[in-house]
Chains A and B, each alone.
Chain A
Amino acid sequence: MAQSMVKEFTKGLWAELPPFRLVLGLCPVLAVTKSVENGIGMGVATTFVLVCSNLLVSLLRNIIPVKVRIACFIVIIATFVTVVELVMQAYTYPLFLKLGIFIPLIVVNCIVLGRAEAFAFKNSPTLSIADGLGMGIGFTLSLGALGAIRECLGNGTILGNTVFGPGFQPFTFMVEAPGAFVCLGLMLCLMNLIGKK
């Protein structure tokens, strides 16, 4: 039992790392990674929704009729997204403003619905939590890493601290829209390169 939990947990960290391996949920990955802070904030919010919805879907998997399962998933996910929305608005207001419409859009993040359908609906609650947590942390780390690269090159800072000397010319391209695509593409390429070995 413990072993399979570890397995479900760790697969989200590398083997099935969400944005890179599964190429799912790209919109927030591209849009909110202008800085590390935004990326991690988004990742944590998504992780919370992912774990909660996985748990609830898994608990109710014998009650939910197969025909209306997608509708049920959507109601469950939307509920937790709204919870996150309200809580973030109440306690981390500046971050809430920065992430903007991407918080409600967690609802249509393919990863969340995808995990509910592909994993939680078929597995026990403990395994589903492990799966959700693993996927969520993998997602958060990816967003954080992408955010770090973009913030570092595009703005010369990491988490607001200056990294380079005063002579550094910020590579503004990286924090603008096109930079997001190119940067993610190159990171994916790097992962393929390492994965091949």
Chain B
Amino acid sequence: MGDYFVLAISCIFVNNILLAQFLGNCPFLGTSKKMETATGMAMAVIFVLVLAGIITWITDTYLLKPLNIEFLRTLSFILVIASLVQFVEMFLKKSIPALYAGLGIFLPLITTNCAVMGVCLININEEYTFMQSLVSSFSYAVGFGLALILFAGIRERIIIARVPKPLQDTSIGLVTAGMIAICFFAFKGMV
């Protein structure tokens, strides 16, 4: 149990997927202008990442490894993730329309979110067991959400501030992200 806790802390803070591993930066900058969209995106990522983590782990362990075709990993993972996202979208639309209304528009974006693919690959590279993969997928997604929501909060304030013209928009966004990354940097050495 303690091991899983350490793993979770390390995935959320120390190796934060956005600020330390640089995965999933496109949606990070794209959907962080408003708190509302940021929360929606964070939820969608948590949802899909946990599912994707489980399914890619199963694919790798019970399909690719026994057949000795690990070199097809990239291809099969992206196809699994793409179809998973499509499937989740259809399922939500039919069965839980309320949730679909909240997450729907973010789902197609997730296929090309490298955080999802990245975490699945990390799980395999680190040779995690099934439970470890589950914990790490969930924690990485929580870390993603945490950073995204923090960032959105700051960006909402920046709109009011007077920023020099060339620095506006993405540019100041990146510098801000750098500052948050410094804060997360302080977690290094904690685990």
Contacts and interface: CB of A to CB of B under 8 A. Distances in A.
Contact of B19 (A70, A177, A190): A177
Interface stretch (B38-46, B57-65, B118-126): B118-126
A152 to B, nearest CB: 18
Interface residues on A, range: 35 or more
A182 B178 contact: yes
Contacts of A189: 166-167, 171
B169 to A, nearest CB: 9
Contacts of A176: 185
B174 A185 contact: yes
B75 A75 contact: yes
Interface stretch (B24-32, B91-99, B135-143, B154-162): B24-32
B81 to A, nearest CB: 9
B79 interface: yes
A23 interface: yes
Interface in A113-132: 113
Contacts of B79: 71, 74-75, 78
Interface in B9-54: 19-26, 29
Interface in B129-187: 165-168, 170-179, 181-182, 184-185
Contact of B75 (A78, A101, A178): A78
A101 B78 CA distance: 14
Interface residues on B, range: 35 or more
Contact of A86 (B71, B82, B116, B118): B71
Contacts of B73: 104
B178 A185 contact: yes
Nearest to B181: A178
B103 interface: no
A113 B175 CA distance: 27
A61 B184 CA distance: 46
Interface stretch (A8-16, A26-34, A39-47, A160-168): A26-34
Contacts of A101: 118, 121-122, 125
B1 interface: no
B55 interface: no
Contact of A113 (B25, B77, B112, B181): B112
Contact of B175 (A79, A100, A108, A185): A185
Contact of A71 (B71, B82, B112, B121): B82
B174 A109 contact: no
A42 to B, nearest CB: 12
A192 interface: yes
Contacts of B82: 70-71, 74
Given A23-B29, A105-B114, A190-B166, A182 B175 contact: yes
Given A31-B21, A86-B71, A178 B170 contact: no
Contacts of B20: 177
Interface of A: 23-28, 30-31, 70-71, 74-75, 78-79, 81-82, 85-86, 100-101, 104-105, 107-110, 113, 176-186, 188-190, 192-193, 196
Given A183-B178, A185-B172, 9 more contacts: A24-B26, A78-B75, A101-B118, A101-B121, A104-B74, A105-B121, A107-B74, A188-B170, A196-B166
- Which 7 pairs of residues, A with B, have the shortest CB-CB distance? A185-B174, A181-B178, A182-B178, A31-B22, A178-B181, A185-B175, A192-B166
Interface of B: 19-26, 29, 71-75, 77-79, 82, 111-114, 116-118, 121-122, 125, 165-168, 170-179, 181-182, 184-185
